Structure 1
Amino acid sequence: MLEGIVRESMDKRSTKALRKDGYLIANIYAKGVENINAAFKVNDFIKAVKGKSDLKFPVSVAGKTYDVVVVDYQKHPVTSALKHVDLKVVLDDVESKYMVPVKPFGTPVGLKNKGILLQSKKRLTVKCTGKNLPNSFDVDVSGLDVDHTLLVRDIKVPEGVKIVEAGRVAVVGVIKAK
């Protein structure tokens, strides 16, 4: 489990000092939960995110444990080092919006016909409770030929989950190579 500390001061000097000591600045929030300004060791955070099997993962701050999902992060423009991360607490009975990844599998028929697989949506916004949150949308692309597309309305959605995007939005398609 990822262990973090609570940030006592929010000023620029203390933030720089934490970053110099190898910490990643984080905000943890949710509906009905007081915002938590935290900091995690950068390397520990990267290991926890890369090693997770579910969309949500546990973090511990000030003796309390939260199941969270990564909402957004900022990187340094030159070095690409992580600078800041926003984490949303997953509450089992509260409906909220989440970004769920789309994972295509299979080899499209169109690749043999000089086509290229194009994934236009890597994540879809869904509205659901925390207990119904899917880990990902697995999409079978083996039946796609050149100029065929899978739309949002073609994705199988678990019960209790609603996709926010319009049904006519393309998710994965095979286009003709030039």
Structure 2
Amino acid sequence: MSKTHEIKVTARDVQGKGASRRLRHAGVIPAVVYGGEAAPININLDHNQIWLAQQNEWFYSSILDLNLDGQVTKVLLRDMQRHPFKQLIIHLDFLRVNENEALTANVPLHFVNEDTSPAGKAADVVVTHELKEVTVSCLPKDLPESIDVDLGELKAGDVIYLSDIKLPKGVEIPALAQGKDHDDAIVTAKHGKEDAADEAPAAE
């Protein structure tokens, strides 16, 4: 189960590019909350707090509790706009979450025990992580912050697919319902010589 993380916000009454620019100069991020039956609302967030939060995986894949004057709204981050070269977050979009309805979210994959696996200990084997995250479907209460993929038994020549992931209770991977063609590889272990042979025709 995913933890929830509370973030205090304030209401934003003034809109427009000029107002948003003044907010950012004051260390405030303009944002919008939408989805569900309620109308979208405009809010402000503290830039320093969000800048620290966005350095953690949970900020992108966990249920967030937006606290507006004591009223909590459960949301998922849906979009973040950053300045092209400054360490500045320009705008955020949040989607309301219904605790009784399944949601779809991207969850990070954590690859564990690779160093102690036969493939990881072999000097001539290259282990490639083909995917860093997976799209899952579940109720909000079941949303994991991350999913571990155990590579302890990985050997040269092995391929681990989406269908090999041990999912937490209540969590599904929608892509697998679309057939074998959507059962993507997430980890491959190949001998270095095999990689060189695969690349040789392209080089020619």
Give the secondary-structure state (helix, strand or coil) at the position aligned to 2:131. coil
Say if 2:182 is the partner of 1:170. no
Residue 161 of structure 1 is aligned with which of 167, 171, 174?
171
Whole-Å Cα distance in 2 between the matches of residues 12 and 77 of structure 1?
Answer: 17
1:115 to 115, 118, 125: 125
The partner residue of 1:83 within 83, 90, 111 is 90
Shift of the 74–176 alpha-carbon distance from structure 1 to 2, 3 Å rule, reads farther
The answer for the alignment partner of 1:103 in structure 2 is 110
Which residue number in structure 2 is paired with residue 3 of structure 1? 8
Task: Give the superposed CA RMSD.
Answer: 2.5
TM-score by length of 2: 0.75
CA contact (8 A) 2:34 2:95 kept: yes
Q: Distance in 1 between matches of 2:190 and 2:48?
A: 39
- Greater fraction strand: 1
**1:80 Cα deviation from its structure 2 partner:** 4.3
Query: How far off its partner does 1:157 sit?
Result: 2.2
The residue number in structure 2 matching 1:59 is 66
Q: Which piece of structure 1 moves more, 99-108 or 68-77?
A: 68-77
Task: Give 1:45's aligned residue.
Answer: 50
Determine helix, strand or coil for the equivalent of 2:144: coil
Name the CA distance, whole Å, in 1 between partners of 2:14 and 2:21.
11
Distance in 2, matches of 1:174 and 1:86, equals: 38
TM-score scaled by length of structure 1: 0.84
Aligned 8 A contact 1:2 1:48 in 2: no
Q: Percent identity between the aligned chains?
A: 25
1:145/1:81 Cα in 2 relative to 1: closer, same or farther (>3 Å)?
Answer: farther
Deviation larger for 132-141 or 63-72: 63-72
Q: How many Å separate the matches in 1 of 2:91 and 2:77?
A: 11
1:68 deviation in Å?
A: 2.7
Unaligned runs of 5+ in 1: none
Helix, strand or coil at the partner of 1:28: strand
Contact 2:36 2:97 in 1 (8 A): no
Q: Give the CA deviation at 1:12.
A: 0.6
CA shift for structure 1 position 60 = 1.0
Which has the larger Rg? Answer: 2
Retained in 2: the 8 A contact 1:71–1:99? no
In terms of fraction of residues, the more helix-rich structure is: 2
Report the CA distance shift for 1:50/1:66 in structure 2 as closer, same or farther (over 3 A): farther
AA partner of residue 173 (structure 1): T
Residue 32 of structure 2 corresponds to 27
Alpha-carbon distance change, 100 to 32 in structure 1, aligned in 2, over 3 angstroms: farther
Unaligned runs of 5+ in 2: 1-5, 177-181, 197-204
